[in-house]
Amino acid sequence: MELFRLTVAEARKLLDKREISATELINSVYRRIDAVEDRVRAFITLTKGQAAGMARNAGTKIKSAGPSSPMLGVPFAVKDNMCTKGILTTCASKILFNFTPPYESTVTSRLNDEGYVLVGKTNMDEFAMGSSTENSGFHVTRNPWDLKRIPGGSSGGSAAAVAADECIAALGSDTGGSIRQPAALCGVVGMKPTYGRVSRYGLVAFASSLDQIGPITKDVRDSALLLNSIAGHDPLDSTSAPVSAPDFTAALGRDIKGLRIGIPGEYFIEGIDPEVARAVRDAIRKLESLGAVPVEVSLPHTGYAVATYYVLATSEASSNLARYDGVKYGFRAEGKDLMEMYMKTRSQGFGAEVKRRIMLGTYALSSGYYEAYYRKALQVRTLIKKDFEEAFKSVDVIVTPTSPSAAFKAGEKADDPLQMYLSDIFTISVNLAGVPALSVPCGFTPDNLPVGLQFIGKHFDEESVLQLAYAYEQATDWHKRDPDL
Amino acid sequence: MKYEPVIGLEVHAQMLTETKIFCGCSTKFGSEPNTQTCPVCIGMPGVLPVLNKKALEFAVRTGLATGCTISLYSRFARKNYFYPDLPKGYQISQYELPICEHGRISIIVDGTVREIGITRIHMEEDAGKNIHEDRGNFSFIDLNRAGVPLMEIVSEPDLRSPREAVEYMKKLRAVLRYLGVCDGNMEEGSLRCDANVSVRPSGQKEFGVKVEIKNINSFRFVEKALDYEIRRQIKVLGDGGKIIQETRLWDSGMGVTESMRGKEEAHDYRYFPEPDLVPMVVDKKWTDEIRASLPELPDVKQARFVSGYGLPEFDADLLVSEKAMADWFEAAVKAGGKPNSVSNWMKGELVRLLNEENKSFDDCPLAPEQLAGMLKLIDNGTISGKIAKTVFDEIYKTGKEAEVVVKEKGLVQISDSDEIEKAVDDVIAKSPGEFERFKAGEEKLAGFFVGQVMKLTKGKANPRIVNELLKKKLSS
């Protein structure tokens, strides 16, 4: 077996038994990258030089006595909106084309402490705004299952890199589905933890109250392992929850017999691709056969989620992106005076979708509109949160499709932002409510495109989500398929 | 028509915390540009603010000291605007749910006590500073100040004259300094003031159209700027014009307020709750602890000085205006000085000498014990009040005890009647004409003879004895 195909758990075993070295592992990953990256284009920056050094260090640590950290010597891809000290961090935006942070994000800092190996920084929709990675300011990433199609987004680079075995695992960020939707479209496992579970320090903000970092992995066990490494309170992030994280792998393998799974009617609507609906229904039957008890639930405010999201997320974004003004770092256009410098810098530095959202958000926060848009959206957000609280009174986990369709063709929705926004219709509510959710492969369309199944849990109950997803994964073979590259 | 001004002040006070409000950078004033910065206060991508608890404590202290209600649930908001010295493109401030509300400060103007309402006190971060030096077409930015914690203290429109505004500022400054939350230095910008001012016909209830005046950075300018603006508004109305709601800048050089061009359109700051900071939940127990730790405040101290030391109101007001001054006073009294004498020497000679050297009671070279020691020498007749002025200058300059100075300089008062009589006789002998007129009843010449005797004895003659002897000579 080629080493690049390994999961984190498998790599750990082989590394610790010294059957392979960290250097052999990263070399194998880079051989894979050499073979497929010009077609997939998952990365913005490859850090081959640093990776070699990190692997050597990991090798030394593995040889020394004592137990290895879980991620020691494991090659990771990191979405390019997480700051890596001394390594270009662009957010796939021209406005940060030359930005090298002098600080490290908390998540990569924790992985660094464990001795991970950074393969590179992955492509994304600019500032994480998009669902196809077509909004990257640099290039389009392709879906490894069909290179004519998009990998989803905004963490499309990370999902594609995992699917194409260009890394062992990856980090993504999820504001409205940006981990789960590309994971579903690329046939891998993607988890958005509970808001506050993972530190956002060093994650370039899109919408602060919704953003959350999470793992994109080849299987559910790896998701739990990676979450173990990155979860937990961070004094540098006031919104990170002061709760200690459990060992998430402990939930794996627990019997799911009797677990109540909620099926929300609002998520099985017209417009959903019939192949996706079929795969998800099959998956629910499979869960039932494993002992889970399906229960119909209602999330009555689901229909308002997309609108609510696009008011709140754009409002926060309009403010979060104000710092890119050409004054301190990043791209600056020359202007005859300050105002012209500002205008040219931001006009030329931001892409169309980012500008569209800045304008939307600026409008929603404007005096005279604030009450009608921003405050109203906050109220609806509370209702959506309550929907989940109500539903979770009768079920343990909610099961839905991750995305209404499988991967679409590049360019297909690029000119229709509304159509594009609807690809997050099943994932957005989760961010508004702040609850955890995970997407796991649950089948393929006749075109051989992966379909994702979403498990949604209660606040800080990633364990039940992992438990069910793992049980489902173990009973199926979908995750074992590889794209033909 | 007679008009009445209506004034409200917005005071920005830099808090005396060691570190900035949302990061660990130092708040020290006057360092090399951009040496007290980090990714957080420079507004780099992905960094997050973490509240300095000391800043919250200082705001709560100030709120408690001014009778505010402390909000047990409070939050930060973003105030959005573009400016090069504002690195994030927004200022973290408070909007809805400020930390303190509904307080008051009392001031005395012309013997009348006035309660001035405080609408709110909120926390926010300071911006950096643009530097426009002559270096081609470039401006520079110093972000050392960016993120320094500020309190914005907003008064009700309760002030009715520029003098009241000045008294309010002085009282507020004193309170802040007593609390140790702000050094009150207006020159260095640690205390800044914007004023909202309008005028209305006397007796009218409704407020007139208000104008905001910015850039008032000294007590003197508070009064001058308001005076000017009130006169301007009255003139506009008197000429049949209308006041436009606008922001005007105080130009201290020209002594006028001027409309800020380019700011005609009201800013839309697009305030919204700061999502990077969780709401502050202040615990009642904590505020109680802070309340218990508050120092005695100027008003209470003033009353105590009047009732406990028998000082006149005016003297007590002056002494409590600075905590260091009040402390100095009490230390001198404790060392044996009589309260009234201590007070008189402090507000006279001591304040004069301190002013000459641009010093304050914080760095007063004279120890309270030195003054008390000197007062003892006056009381027991060792030195005269006149000599005491010389002694005072000397102990201030040298740090020596009065007793030592008196000895070294031979300033002990001459109370020996024989010695003084000799001097009196000498003077009479030198001025026989004056003495005849004196004897003939020209009483004002007494002063002349006392003066001459003092001159002859280098001021050391006990004036009481000099007078007695002169009287004796007159009747002999």
Closest CA to A218 of A33, A465, A48, A450: A450
For an interface test with B, give the residue of A84, A233, A327 to mutate (most B CBs within 10 A): A327
- B442 versus B362: the higher-pLDDT residue is B362
For an interface test with A, give the residue of B91, B270, B278 to mutate (most A CBs within 10 A): B270
Residue spans of the domains in chain B: they are 3-289, 296-409, 417-475
Bridge-based pairing of strands A75-79 and A117-122 is parallel
B276 with A366: Cβ contact below 8 A: no
Q: How many CB atoms lie within 10 A of CB B90?
A: 25
Contacts of A370 in chain B (CB under 8 A): 270, 272
Cβ-based contacts under 8 A for chains A and B: 101
Q: How far is B147 from chain A (nearest CA, A)?
A: 15
Kindly state the tokens that stand for B381.
């007749």
Angle B385-398/B368-379 helices, nearest 10 degrees?
160
A208 with B276: Cβ contact below 8 A: yes
Burial class (CB in 10 A: 0-12, 13-18, 19+), B14: buried
Answer whether residue B264 shows pLDDT above 60. Answer: no
A101 with B80: Cβ contact below 8 A: no
Give the nearest chain A residue to B273 (CA atoms): A316
Q: Answer whether A483's CB lies under 8 Å from A163's CB.
A: yes
Can you give the pTM of this predicted structure?
Answer: 0.90
In sequence order, what are the residues at sequence separation of 6 or more whose Cβ sits closer than 8 angstroms to the Cβ of residue A150? A132, A133, A134, A140, A141, A142, A143, A156, A185, A407, A408, A409, A410, A412
Q: What is the mean pLDDT of residues B171-190?
A: 93
Average pLDDT of chain B?
90
Does A291 reside within a domain? no
Instruction: Give the nearest partner residue to A236 out of B50, B88, B271, using CB atoms.
Output: B50
Answer whether residue B261 shows pLDDT above 70. Answer: no
Report yes or no: A431 at the B interface, CB cutoff 8 Å.
Answer: no
Does A328 reside within a domain? no
A328 with B43: Cβ contact below 8 A: yes
DSSP B434: H
In sequence order, what are the residues at sequence separation of 6 or more whose Cβ sits closer than 8 angstroms to the Cβ of residue B194? B9, B10, B11, B12, B212, B213, B214, B215, B216
Report yes or no: A100 at the B interface, CB cutoff 8 Å.
Answer: no
Phi-psi bin for A378: left (phi > 0), alpha (psi -120 to 50), beta?
alpha
Give the nearest chain A residue to B46 (CA atoms): A204
List residues in chain B touching A: CB distance below 8 A: 39, 42-51, 78, 80, 82, 84, 87-90, 141, 268, 270-272, 275-278
Contacts of B84 in chain A (CB under 8 A): 325, 327, 338
Q: Answer whether A330's CB lies under 8 Å from A98's CB.
A: yes
Q: How confident is the model at residue A417 (pLDDT cuts 50, 70, 90)?
A: confident
* CATH code at B417-475: 1.10.10.410
- What's the CA angle centered on B176, arms B285 and B339, to 5 degrees? 105
User: pLDDT at position B265, please?
Assistant: 57
B89-110 pLDDT, tens digit each: 999 999 999 999 999 999 988 8
Instruction: Give the nearest partner residue to A105 out of B46, B49, B87, using CB atoms.
Output: B46
Q: How far is A78 from chain B (nearest CA, A)?
A: 15
User: pLDDT at position B262, please?
Assistant: 45
Instruction: Look at A101-105, A388-392, B262-266 and tell me which has the smallest mean pLDDT.
Output: B262-266
Distances (CA, A) of A237 to A195, B31, B276, B281: 12, 29, 8, 17
Answer whether residue B266 shows pLDDT above 70. Answer: no
Contacts of B90 in chain A (CB under 8 A): 319, 322
Q: Which domain holds residue A169?
A: 3-259+395-480
A83 with B46: Cβ contact below 8 A: yes
Q: Answer whether A408's CB lies under 8 Å from A450's CB.
A: no
Instruction: Give the nearest partner residue to B42 out of A318, A328, A367, using CB atoms.
Output: A328
Percent of chain A with pLDDT over 70: 100
Q: Answer whether A185's CB lies under 8 Å from A450's CB.
A: yes
Contacts of A366 in chain B (CB under 8 A): 268, 270
Closest CA to A453 of A276, A268, A261, A253: A276
Amino acid making up residue B73 = Y
Instruction: Give the nearest partner residue to A238 out of B51, B82, B87, using CB atoms.
Output: B51
B388-418 pLDDT, tens digit each: 888 888 888 888 887 787 777 777 777 677 7
Q: Answer whether A90's CB lies under 8 Å from A349's CB.
A: no
Contacts of B43 in chain A (CB under 8 A): 323, 328
A365 with B272: Cβ contact below 8 A: yes
A238 with B278: Cβ contact below 8 A: yes
Instruction: Give the nearest partner residue to B82 out of A83, A322, A370, using CB atoms.
Output: A322
Distance between CA A306 and CA B396 in Å, rounded? 76
Answer whether residue A243 shows pLDDT above 50. Answer: yes
B330-355 pLDDT, tens digit each: 999 998 889 998 999 999 889 998 99
Q: What is the mean pLDDT of residues A226-241?
A: 97
A250-269 pLDDT, tens digit each: 999 999 999 999 999 998 87
Instruction: Give the nearest partner residue to B275 out of A82, A89, A208, using CB atoms.
Output: A208
Q: Does residue A155 carry a catalytic annotation?
A: no
Q: What is the mean pLDDT of residues B461-467?
A: 78
Instruction: Give the nearest partner residue to A366 out of B42, B50, B270, using CB atoms.
Output: B270
Does A221 reside within a domain? yes
Q: Catalytic one among A178, A223, A229, A318?
A: A178
Instruction: Look at A48-57, A210-219, B329-338 and tell me which has the smallest mean pLDDT.
Output: B329-338
Amino acid making up residue A65 = A
Average pLDDT of chain A?
96
Amino acid making up residue B282 = V
Q: How confident is the model at residue B476 (pLDDT cuts 50, 70, 90)?
A: low
Q: Does residue A315 carry a catalytic annotation?
A: no
Does A70 reside within a domain? yes
Q: How far is B22 from chain A (nearest CA, A)?
A: 10
A17-44 pLDDT, tens digit each: 999 999 999 999 999 999 999 999 999 9
Q: How many structural domains is chain A composed of?
A: 1
Does A249 reside within a domain? yes
- Point out which residues pair with B197 in neighbouring strands: B7, B211
Q: Does residue A154 carry a catalytic annotation?
A: yes
- The single residue listed with the structure tokens 């009047």 is B306
* CATH number of the domain enclosing A85: 3.90.1300.10
Report yes or no: A329 at the B interface, CB cutoff 8 Å.
Answer: yes
User: pLDDT at position A413, please?
Assistant: 83
B43 with A235: Cβ contact below 8 A: no
For an interface test with B, give the residue of A97, A126, A325 to mutate (most B CBs within 10 A): A325
Q: What is the mean pLDDT of residues B187-196?
A: 91
- Cα A149 to chain centroid distance, Å, stands at 18
Report yes or no: A193 at the B interface, CB cutoff 8 Å.
Answer: no
Instruction: Tell me what ipTM this predicted complex has.
Output: 0.95
Q: Answer whether B113's CB lies under 8 Å from B107's CB.
A: yes
Contacts of B42 in chain A (CB under 8 A): 328
